[in-house]
Chain A
Amino acid sequence: MSDTLTADVIGQRVEVNGEHATVRFAGVVPPVAGPWLGVEWDNPERGKHDGSHEGTVYFQCRHPTGGSFIRPNKVNFGTDFLTAIKNRYVLEDGPEEDRKEQIVTIGNKPVETIGFDSIMKQQSQLSKLQEVSLRNCAVSCAGEKGGVAEGCPNIRKVDLSKNLLSSWDEVIHIADQLRHLEVLNVSENKLKFPSGSVLTGTLSALKVLVLNQTGITWAEVLRCAMGCPGLEELYLESNNIFISERPTDVLQTVKLLDLSSNQLIDENQLYLIAHLPRLEQLILSDIGISSLHFPDAGIGCKTSLFPSLKYLVVNDNQISQWSFFNELDKLPSLRALSCLRNPLTKEDKEAETARLLIIASIGQLKTLNKCEILPEERRRAELDYRKAFGNEWKQAGGHKDPDKNRLSEEFLTAHPRYQFLCLSTCVYTGGLQVVHFQLEQSFFLEYGAPEEWELKTQQPLMLKNQLLTLKIKYPHQLDQKVLEKQLPGSMTIQKVKGLLSRLLKVPVSDLLLSYESPQKPGVEIELENDLKSLQFYSVENGDCLLVRW
């Protein structure tokens, strides 16, 4: 572009030696003669001042070192779209010798290139180009009207990231001419978006729109989306977006929404996008979220929010409560989840346990962290979950018999799926339903309520924990006192007899031992094999040894 300074140069995006900036001022800066451009750099430390010089404020900058004054001829205003395409893809008509000099060497070996001539010829046929990448090619405008439509009408995908486009209108000028355009990427351009609902064109074929790092606001997103009626994928990474309103007529066809790295988003704002009917994939990585609530659904019920959401990504967030996953269970269509690098799932040792707990908490999940959940894994996870919280369940009022089962509200909130995992067949076939659930599987889970023996916690391996406290009775000698002794379970019957023989002054061979358990009164079990241990006969703590001679 020429260096004539007209008023419309203000706001344009320019490039100087690889650094991008926006023109904020054009005119004279005394005392130095000649025209100057005042620019605000994208990089806040690149400049020398904040727009003022020797006391006079010429333009405003956001940072004290964000601005500079530059001579217009040093600044690159960029080129138009078609020229940029030609620069990149078209074979330059230079003499033969020039091309020979371009042989590159590595070390002292030449690099042999195959078929580059043919490729260059092919790419020169611009009308055949379907996928075009003009990243960092200093594109600033569409060029003459209709030029793009004539030159390369078949473009389906265009990458215009990191260029010098200054406004959304300019983008529309280009995109409008490409009737088959399906994918448009204008990331890393500082665009000015229309303030009113002024539509300069409709991109009817557009399916994918990428607006990462453009500084766009939510209201502007909605306005731009009005021109894209068939939009399926929308990428808005790193824009400091604050979702301010609910999209009513726009974004209704969107299937994928990427809101990564927008730190201002919190869970309340998510309700505003919860009614998008086709939204299947939602990427919320790195937004600082720690909880989610679906207040319209009670414990064990499905929410009406996010009706089609199948895949949720919440990597790199602040999730530290298990209740997060209980809430996710309320989503009716959720089948896949990625939640890596959160405080709850960070510890490597506990990664396995964390995975099992997440699987058990969300009943319909099929894929977790991109690993398919096989039926055996799900079964293992659910059994583990049932066992792990069994004691809590009991303390909270849980009971095998459904009539006696009265769980506290607290327990139900913390473990909404627990009752489901405990439903036993007899209850179900009887038609009684403890809690109403939608069952997806054709077979039915019936693990039953956890049994006593499952809930026994492992005692630490100290000797005193391995000793059995036993009473010793002498049925034939009623005057003898009942002794209480602590014996290890691994002790053989022979050794027990030896001990008793020393105690009672009776020879070993005369002794006959048996035991009875308070749990089974009246049943006496003979300990006839001297070489077996007490454990072999399942003698337990609190049992009573009966000695006869």
Chain B
Amino acid sequence: MRECLSIHIGQAGIQIGDTCWELYCLEHGIQPNGIVLDSQQDQLENAKMEHTNTSFDTFFCETRAGKHVPRALFVDLEPTVIDGIRTGQHRSLFHPEQLLSGKEDAASNYARGRYSVGSEVIDLVLERTRKLAKQCGGLQGFLIFRSFGGGTGSGFTSLLMERLTGEYSRKTKLEFSVYPAPRISTAVVEPYNSVLTTHSTTEHMDCTFTVDNEAVYDICHRKLGVECPSYASINRLMVQVVSSITASLRFEGPLNVDLIEFQTNLVPYPRIHFPMTAFAPIVSAEKAYHEQFSVSDITTACFESSNQLVKCDPRLGKYMACCLLYRGDVVPKEVNAAIAATKSGHSVQFVDWCPTGFKVGINNRPPTVMPGGDLAKVHRSVCMLSNTTAIVEAWARLDHKFDLMYAKRAFLHWYLREGMEEAEFLEAREDLAALERDYEEVGQSF
């Protein structure tokens, strides 16, 4: 029951997905061919195994042969990236029908992803989704992984979301999106794609966890000693956050949070559903055991801008909601102490109208690191999800870049050629301006 379907769209979504499922397999002791390695869990003295099937049933489907198949769908409009998975380490983990690729890509063009090329693939994708959904006893919802700036990630996702809302109106839809960053930008038209896709998906999404490539790039470069962070390093870090967020869904634990509970707590208004993520501790592998991070250390670190995965300054805004998800060796006493200390140390300002402040949960399973990765293994970690008005800064930056290009109608013909109209651009821009105003209004005191 309560299964979650992950849909990975576009190059970013697929590469993050690949790393993500690799991490999930490590955490659950599943080998690359889908079989659980029982001998990894040695027999405990006088205690039965903690490992029960229902814990990862939410994310993996068990076949009669004992193989665990991820409940995931990988979609791209061109085959190269998916071929990487078809021939990669995890090729035997996925069923071939879960890896869908088109022939002609979206060329970083929202219009192609949404209208021309996307429309050819959408029916197949929906059919496969239906098939996966049938395998679930009680589907909870969807987790979408994609980037804002790419053609498939922006355009095709908009199309898919519309159709999913039509077919599965009461299922939750959460997404993990990659916000475009100038330093690792691959396309000039990313602001166009981002604005257009935000406009179309906002009404269909329940909660969007944004991750800024630039923030993660900085973390890898400064804290982890990676000289030129590649997508692999960035994805490995992002995936730790994703794992923290989904940990309560995958492991039997006291905080068995439904996807609905995330929504209820973090999202005060339907449109204000962009929480900011932060993660601690971030320790380079060569510095393992040099420093110890207690619960209070990692809690304080969450409020520092260097641990955030989105570039914005929360001190300039107000918190509407905040979720702290601890993993590993964490004792409730220490959590209470840590939070009390935070209250005195930082300017954590809440809006007047919000009833509950913090929501805190613990999952005993310690954080896992990927072998060959940059992060050191730590005893405990925390992921903070906070809905703060300061995130409007990220939207403002994007809107500004959009305006600069749109004022000159630069690159517009690529979109018009595929059948889009200028009106859609204006509409999208208006929508984002309204979003900015909404955030402002929400942060105001009475």
Confirm or deny: B357 has a beta carbon within 8 angstroms of a beta carbon on chain A: yes
Given A107-B343, A110-B356, A115-B362 in contact, is the A127-B45 Cβ separation under 8 Å? yes
A-side contacts of B340, CB under 8 Å:
104, 106
Q: Given A283-B286, A315-B225, answer yes or no on A113-B45 (Cβ-Cβ < 8 Å).
A: no
Asked whether, in the complex, the Cβ of B335 is within 8 Å of the Cβ of A113, the reply is yes
Min C-beta distance of B246 to chain A, whole Å:
16
A371 to B231, alpha carbons, bound, how many Å? 11
B269 on the A face (CB < 8 A): no
Question: Does A313 lie at the interface of the complex (its beta carbon under 8 Å from any beta carbon of B)?
Answer: yes
Of all chain A residues, the one with the shortest Cβ separation from B284 is A370
Chain A residues with CB below 8 A from B359, complex form = 112, 114
Q: Which of A104, A133, A260, A369 contacts B225 (CB 8 A)?
A: A369
Contacting pair B289 A212 (CB below 8 A): yes
B254:A112 contact, CB within 8 angstroms: no
Which residues 388-418 in B have Cβ within 8 Å of A in the complex?
none
A237 touching B354, Cβ below 8 Å: no
A132 to B330, CA, bound (A): 10
A168 to B355 CA separation, bound complex (whole angstroms): 53
- Cβ A119 vs Cβ B339 within 8 A: no
In the bound complex, CA of A435 to CA of B409 (Å):
62
Task: For chain A, residues 102 to 136, give those with C-beta under 8 angstroms from any C-beta of chain B.
Answer: 102, 104-107, 109-120, 122-123, 127-128, 130-133, 135-136
Measured CA separation A237–B328 after assembly (Å): 25
Report whether A154 and B47 are in contact in the complex, using a CB–CB cutoff of 8 Å. yes
Q: Which residues of A contact B358 (CB under 8 A)?
A: 106, 109, 111-112
Task: Check if B124 is an interface residue, CB within 8 A of chain A.
Answer: no
Is the CB of A210 closer than 8 A to any CB of chain B? yes
Residue A372 at the chain B interface, CB threshold 8 Å: yes
Q: Is the interface of B mostly helix, strand, loop or mixed?
A: loop
Known A127-B45, A370-B227; judge A109-B350 contact (CB<8 A): yes
B316-374: which have CB < 8 Å to A? 328-329, 331-333, 335-336, 339-340, 342-343, 348-350, 354-362, 364, 366, 374
For A117, the chain B residues whose CB sits under 8 A away are 254
Chain B nearest CB from A381 CB (Å) reads 13
> Which A residue's beta carbon lies closest to that of B257?
A114
CA distance A285 to B287 in the complex (A): 9
Q: How far is the CA of A115 from the CA of B226 in the complex (A)?
A: 38
Find out whether the CB atom of B332 lies under 8 angstroms from the CB atom of A107: no
* Known A-B contacts A106-B358, A112-B360; A369 and B227 likewise in contact (beta carbons under 8 Å): yes
**Cβ B47 vs Cβ A128 within 8 A:** yes
Once A109-B356, A114-B359 are accepted as A-B contacts, the answer to whether A133 and B364 lie under 8 Å apart by CB is no
B286 touches A371 (CB 8 A): no
Tell me whether B37 is interfacial, beta carbon within 8 Å.
Answer: no
Q: How far is B343's CA from A105's CA once the two chains are assembled, in angstroms? A: 8
List chain B residues, Cβ under 8 A from A119.
253-254, 332, 362, 364
Residues from chain A with a CB closer than 8 A to the CB of B229 are 371
A76: Cβ under 8 A from any B Cβ? no
Is B426 an interface position by the 8 A CB rule?
no
How far in angstroms is the closest Cβ of chain B from A517? Answer: 45
Pick from B289, B335, B343, B379: contact of A106, CB below 8 A: B343
Please give, as numbers and ranges, the residues of chain B lying within 8 Å of A153 by CB-CB distance. Answer: 45-46
A132-B339 contact given A110-B356, A119-B254, A235-B289, CB 8 Å threshold: no
A sample of 8 inter-chain contacts (CB < 8 A) reads A102-B336, A107-B357, A109-B354, A109-B356, A111-B358, A135-B294, A154-B45, A235-B289
